[in-house]
Amino acid sequence: MRAVLFDLDGTLHDRASGLAAFARDQFRRLGSDLDQLDKFTSRFLELDASGKVWKTEVYAQLSKEFEFKRELGGDDLVDELVDDYLRFYPGFAVPMADALHVLETLKARQIKVGILSNGRSDLQRAVITALGFDRLVAAIVISEEVGVRKPQRAIFDIALEQLAVNAAETIFVGDDPVADVEGALQAGLYPLAFNCLAAAGVIRVSALKQVLEVQLMKGVI
């Protein structure tokens, strides 16, 4: 195998931890009743639905359930909260355990490495930079930039083209059984299911460092 592609959120990036830390910080700064801090954080994560709901909808609901400082508000409250999220959230990004070590080791082994993510370009790239991943990967493909999303085959093909490798010689590591695992399978890559269910025959890993240990087809890496 000549290449490894990684999903970002939930795989290289511990999105849940970073998002919770941001939510707590945001409400400390902008909320009017700090006794509601834990409730706000929990509700924020619930409404976010692991990133499947955009923040305009999340904040529209939160603004009905929680009070914010008087200098905020009016018809622009939701927009102000979204702007605050876009500005500060990347600074709370948390790498998944061993993420940097794994990327550095693969690069040292002259394995081509890339990141393939569904999401907003500005936000995902800011997170990647904040975590220091940008200096360790040869390709970054984000759905908003290319107009297709996982599990569509086209987005995997774009990543393979950027790395100049074939699907059969590329591992894909991801935590979503449909977008990542099934998508990679359909595109001809060799998927590793990171902390998620997978079809029979797909290897499951519970820690990123296991990617370095996997041996398939006379040694994957």
Please give the Cα distance from 91 to 29 (Å, whole number): 15
Model confidence over 26-82: pLDDT tens digits? 999 999 999 999 999 999 999 999 998 999 999 999 999 999 987 776 668 999 999
Please give the Cα distance from 183 to 190 (Å, whole number): 10
- The ranges assigned to domains in the chain are 3-14+94-212, 15-92
Model confidence over 86-139: pLDDT tens digits? 999 999 999 999 999 999 999 999 999 999 999 999 999 999 999 999 999 999
Above 70 in pLDDT, residue 212?
yes
Mean pLDDT score of the chain, rounded to an integer? Answer: 93
Query: What dotted CATH number matches 3-14+94-212?
Result: 3.40.50.1000
Burial (CB < 10 A; 0-12, 13-18, 19+), residue 138, is: middle
Please state the pTM of the whole predicted model.
0.92
